Structure 1
Amino acid sequence: MLKTYPTVATDPGVTRQVLSHSPELMVVAFRFDHAGAEGRLHSHPHIQSTYVESGRFRFSVAGQALEVARGDSFVIPSGAEHGCICLEPGTLIDTFTPRRDDFL
């Protein structure tokens, strides 16, 4: 059975929506509606994989700059401080292992 999860505002111009999850894995869409919208620097114990569905973003991952666009993907290690600034509006699809219970 498919379940629809609510869209939650996380930062100005940024929303988050859980797409699916199990205890071991979670898939989440982050939508950025304008250039300059920011995913603030943070860290968590989960391993994160990010896929750029659309748009263009400048990430900081463990102090290193990374610019990504549609079709790019990368992994953020557990505990690494990271965040991004939206350069062109778009959507990031993040996968977390284990699941981010704080998103439920």
Structure 2
Amino acid sequence: MQLQVDEQIRRTIQVKIPGRLDIVSAPEVKEQLERYLAEGVTDFVIDLSETPFMDSAGLAVLVSLLRRCRNQGGTVKLVWPRSEHVQRTLTLTRFDQVFDIIGRESAG
């Protein structure tokens, strides 16, 4: 009997963003994430627990990453931020419903 084996190896990258994710830092963050995508990574955990501020440029990085990962069968999960500003930004934009969220239950 000849077995057919299909081995699936998936890498998950966890990225912690301890500083602001804004118009100044977003291009560099996007560039670094795109390097991982180019290496075949399609599953990400973006740790926003220590991110003090995020603006629309930061949101654009996240939604772009999500779109690209989903197109390749991957996922993007967010670690719930401690910053009330970032929490509010995710809630008002409904990103908290679009992304899988880790650690929201234990927040505040």
Please give the TM-score of this superposition, normalised by the length of structure 1. 0.30
Question: As a proportion of its length, which structure holds more helix?
Answer: 2
- TM-score, scaled relative to structure 2: 0.29
Larger Rg: 2
More strand by share: 1
Q: Greater RCO between the two (CA within 8 Å, min separation 6)?
A: 1
